[in-house]
Amino acid sequence: MPDDEVLRVVVVRRGKVKPIEFRLRDGESGLSLFRRVAQPDSEAIIAAVRAAGKQGELGVVTIPGSVFRRLGLRLVPTLGGTPDPAVNALHVEARPSAWRRLVLRFRRVSVHEWFNKRITPELAAEAKLIE
């Protein structure tokens, strides 16, 4: 497994992952992801995210770290919100750089609006569902 691959827990609908799974909500500053390591594995991450309240048929997608660099996003370690400390230790958020946030603020465009318009389609196209 590549060192810079990250995982996103998504709801799988009819065997597919929709772009909505990569959107930010109003007030969010980054997309919740997990670094990919051997342990805890993707099943443990799904279980932890489910225990934290995410519902539906959950799956995991992989996204290469190079995609985030190409899009000008930083992977920032943050506190995870699951009940599993080992999974929380892997939690990162994909966030725009400080420069991008400053430009967006100057243009009076919210981070989530910019992210959903420019970044979400790219991430959805690059994500690969783990079978």
| Predicted confidence (pLDDT) per residue in 74-111, tens digit | 999 999 999 999 999 999 999 999 999 999 999 999 99
Q: Which structural domain range is residue 93 located in?
A: 6-129
Residue 48 lies in a domain: yes
- Which tokens go with 114? 């910019």
Return per-residue pLDDT of the chain as tens, 131 residues: 445 899 999 999 988 899 999 999 999 999 999 999 999 999 999 999 999 999 999 999 999 999 999 999 999 999 999 999 999 999 999 999 999 999 999 999 999 999 999 999 999 999 999 96
Question: Is residue 45 a part of any domain in this protein?
Answer: yes
Residue 19 within a domain: yes
Q: What pLDDT is attached to residue 131?
A: 66
Evaluate whether residue 112 is within a structural domain: yes
Residue 12 maps to a domain: yes
- Name the token pair of 107: 């243009």
The rounded distance, in Å, linking the Cα atoms of 131 and 99 is 37
Output the pLDDT for position 1. Answer: 41
Asked if 62 contacts 128 with a C-beta cutoff of 8 angstroms, the reply is: yes
Three-class DSSP category at 108: coil
Q: Is residue 1 part of a domain?
A: no
Domain count, the chain: 1
- The reported pLDDT for the residue numbered 3 is 55
